[in-house]
Amino acid sequence: MEACIKIDAIVEDVAADDDVQPAFVPASKSAIEKLERVRVETAGVCCSVCIAEIAVGSEGRGLPCSHVYHDACIVEWLEKSHFCPLCRFSLPA
């Protein structure tokens, strides 16, 4: 997970742009806690936050839209934005 994108850097870059109003609203703590823990059973499942493959047999976190991510990656993402990084599914804020 060393390859995880630094979400804070992205937020800072957007917030530093005078023409862009930051629209980052985190998901609620209860929504994050309720995310399903999913055992990855097939090769090729990729975490789109860090762009790395999730190892077969490891545990990821699934969103209601069925996208799966590394636990640490999606928790960090959802602490900044309540949208799925892939499809923009909205979790409770």
pTM for the full predicted model: 0.75
What residue numbers bound the domain in which 70 lies?
A: 7-78
The domain spanning residue 12 has which CATH number?
3.30.40.10
Q: Is residue 93 part of a domain?
A: no
For residue 89 the two structure tokens come to 């599914």
- The pLDDT tens digits for 60-86 are 999 999 999 999 999 999 999 999 999
| 87 domain-assigned | no
Element (H, E) at 13: helix 7-16
Domain count, the chain: 1
Question: CA torsion angle for 8, 82, 71, 10 (degrees, to 10)?
Answer: -20
Residue 85 domain flag: no
Rounded Cα distance between 49 and 76, Å, is: 10
pLDDT of amino acid 24: 85
Digit-coded pLDDT (tens) for 15-40: 565 555 556 899 999 999 999 999 99
